[in-house]
Amino acid sequence: MELNVTYQGGVQFAAEARGHVVVTDQPADNGGANAGMTPPELMLASLGTCAAHYAVEFLKARSLSAEGLLVRVTAEKKLQPARLTDFRIGVEAPSMKEPRHFEGMLRSVKRCLVHNTLLHSPDVEVAVGEAVTMG
């Protein structure tokens, strides 16, 4: 997987992967134009949409409706070092009625790639230079 980030001015950045672009920005009270989510919000969005994908796959496999599915993700902000912690994912699916569905949904959502990445700290390498090559 690869993604490129380019500076757009102010405190805006564009992240591009496979021809898709997502813009991040800061709220006006933090010097931005509020033209996009902040990077931490985007991280929560990544976790939430991944969980939602697995939730929908679970529902489809059981011929249950995904209509009304809601995934809510929260995290706490900590300092020294600045980071997010205490992530919580809540899943509501109105079509689920039986206890076995809730247990199965939990197992399914826990298969999310982003969830598992956060549970198993990845190595993160930072390189600085004119021509950044990773590998």
Domain with 122 in it: what CATH number?
A: 3.30.300.20
Domain count, the chain: 2
Specify whether the backbone of 10 is left (phi greater than 0), alpha (psi in -120 to 50) or beta.
Answer: left
Max Cα-Cα span within the chain:
57
| Neighbouring-strand partners of residue 85 | 76
- 10 lies in the same domain as 44: no
Q: CA 7: distance to chain centroid?
A: 21
- Which pLDDT value is given to residue 129? 81
Q: What Rg do the C-alpha atoms of the chain give, in angstroms?
A: 18
- 32 lies in the same domain as 51: no
Q: Which pTM does this prediction carry?
A: 0.90
- Which pLDDT value is given to residue 36? 96
SS3 assignment, position 17? strand
- 58 lies in the same domain as 99: yes
Owning domain of residue 6: 1-36
Going residue by residue through the chain, which has 135 residues, state the pLDDT in tens, using 9 for 90 and above.
999 999 999 999 999 999 999 999 999 999 999 999 999 999 999 999 999 999 999 999 999 999 999 999 999 999 999 999 999 999 999 999 999 999 999 999 999 999 999 999 999 988 888 666 655
- Spell 75-103 as b/e; 16+ CB within 10 A means b: beeeeeeeeeeebebebebeebeeeebee
